[in-house]
Structure 1
Amino acid sequence: MSAPAIEPVRTPAPSAATGKAAASRRATPARFDTALGWSDRPGVSWALRILLCAIALGVFAAPFLTILSGAFTAHASGSSLSFLPHDSTLQNFEVAGERGIWDYFTNSLVIAGGALLLQLAVSVLAAYALARHRFRGQALILTLFMLTMMLPEEVIAIPLSLVLGHVPVVGLDLKGTAWGVILPLGAWGFSVMLLTEFMKDIPTEIEEAARLDGVGEFRMLWQVVLPLCKPALGVAGVLGFVMIWDQYLLPLIASKDPTDYTVTVALSILRTDPEVGSGVVLAGAVIALIPSLIVYLLLQRSLVTGIAAGATKG
């Protein structure tokens, strides 16, 4: 007795109506949604959101445009600033250069670069110890880091000036040197706390698997933990650079001579100089803005990713 023949299952051909519907779905553009609930359909809410975005852009962009306009305007005055320069000139930058703005700018670059590298190194090592190891007194150390974030600079200005003039144990005088500004900025509680919380979320299974392969502590930190912390490093790098670059009181108390000043201190000197006008001060402000903008543009992706990762944590 022969087995019955099995006929293959035939899939019905798509009808014309089905094909048109599929083509229509493919041709329909996806709806444009944002965190504000933005819709691509014009209406009252759409116009209101456009207005709110224009107001926000004006609030944040107007000061920047005013600074740029005044920096390139001859005989700029604080009472006649506008968004567009008139009588455009580079004389303001030339006068600022004659007042030594580029020397102060170089001082700021050296201090910001050295302090940021030291700050990131200290923050990474401290965060790795606090996040991936357990030891006695850990809670106390975290509390001390948090307390350093709550102390204003004015409170520690005089004690810090005394310490920089005569460093305990070694007896060095760091005033008038770049190290007098770099070393106090080498540890920042915010970076330590940020990296600590980020490293705590790294799965322990990854670390255990690496240890089975014979990975040591420094190799574990360099090859396993740090690549997973790139977003947090971007946030710490951008915010740390801005914090260091904007320092005013520390470079002032750590200097012995006006040639030791940074660009932020130089701007205050230009503002009180009766021989220069507002345009020279604004030209110096534009020069001081350039490094912060470059750092942000280079690390903006890591900054946004790190902030988004912190917002969605838990």
Structure 2
Amino acid sequence: MSAPTTVDPAPAAARPSVRRTAKEPRHTTPARFDTALGWSDRPGLGMALRILLCLLALAVFAAPFLTIISGAFDENARGSVLSFYPHHATLTNMRVAGDRGIWDYFTNSLVIAGGGLLLQLTVSVLAAYALARHRFRGQALVMTLFMLTMMLPEEVIAIPLSLVLGDVPVVGIDLKGTAFGVILPVGAWGFSVMLLAEFMREIPTEIEEAARIDGVGEFRMLWQIVLPLCKPALGVAGVLGFIMIWDQYLLPLIAAKDPTDYTVTVALSVLRNDPEIGSGVVLAGSVIALVPSLVVYLLLQRSLVSGIAAGATKG
């Protein structure tokens, strides 16, 4: 007669597992920085050399920026001398720059940059959607025309553009002296079209097919499905597009009829050539001109970084 079988009253989940309870040494990798320079946390000559290179790069990029800020608030500012803090702090430079109309030029720049960026993103999104999600005759020609906006330097098209702005074909309107004279020429930028088109091509066709089965139209497809998936690319296009428009110099100059139509970039050149003011006033105007670009970058830096990272890992 066989011996009775004993059953363990403890459930299987409560039984100790040898694999779980075994104490095995865990090998952990020490924290370190992975960079293009091959950063290592071990002290030595290589680490010292890399720190020196980083400090040198920081000095090259940060020194001019600090000199501009300190000179803007220094009574005896000299633009040709490096200075990291104002020796005689004052707000006179800002006041004189304001008396010279810097805030009016600043307002002109904000209107042009805001309107130009809105038009540029609208044109870029619509053009990129058509180029990426549809096929039609002459598609390569359309893309080439957008690329020409990046290939031709401003100096080449300055005179023809001035003639066109003075008498727009077909409608016969003079756009010189208006904000539209600067906004319309920057409305199409090949870089934004190319960037958004490449992102839209990566969207799986299954998503679009499923949406069309549910009766989604073209505009709703673009607004509710495609654009939310392209937020990183929109951030990159927004930051770089704003900086491109804000830094325009030749276009506002040829589109202006009166000095009151100048933007802040053109006004800085006027202030620099004025013998009655010093370098401190020009540096104060430069600080004012730097603020919008920094604000836009800080607001969209997460989208900018994620968009660049996404573009680098595609394929």
Q: What are the equivalent positions in structure 2 for 1:1-314 lying under 5 Å apart?
A: 5=5, 7=7, 11=16, 18=23, 21=25, 30-36=30-36, 37-314=38-315
**Pair 1:210–1:5, CA change in 2 (3 A):** farther
Deviates further, 1-10 or 86-95: 1-10
Residue 16 of structure 1 and its aligned partner are, at CA, apart by 9.6
Distance across 1 between alignment mates of 2:294 and 2:271: 22
Q: What is the count of residue pairs matched by the alignment?
A: 309
Distance across 1 between alignment mates of 2:124 and 2:3: 76
| SS class of match (2:272) | helix
**Is the Cα contact below 8 Å between 2:63 and 2:82 reproduced in 1?**
no
Residue 222 of structure 1 and its aligned partner are, at CA, apart by 0.4
Distance across 1 between alignment mates of 2:277 and 2:310: 47
**Is the Cα contact below 8 Å between 2:265 and 2:289 reproduced in 1?**
yes
**Pair 1:167–1:15, CA change in 2 (3 A):** closer
Structure 2 unaligned segments of length 5 or more: list them. none
Residue 30 of structure 1 and its aligned partner are, at CA, apart by 4.6
User: How much is the aligned-residue C-alpha RMSD, in angstroms?
Assistant: 2.2
Quick one: which amino acid aligns to residue 57 of structure 1?
L
**Is the Cα contact below 8 Å between 1:69 and 1:81 reproduced in 2?**
no
Quick one: which amino acid aligns to residue 235 of structure 1?
V
Structure 1 unaligned segments of length 5 or more: list them. none
Residue 11 of structure 1 and its aligned partner are, at CA, apart by 3.7
1:138-169 C-alpha deviation (Å, 9 max, x unpaired): 01111221222110001111111111111111
TM-score (norm 2): 0.92
**Pair 1:110–1:79, CA change in 2 (3 A):** closer
1:271-300 C-alpha deviation (Å, 9 max, x unpaired): 000000000000000000000000000001
| SS class of match (1:69) | helix
Distance across 1 between alignment mates of 2:17 and 2:148: 72
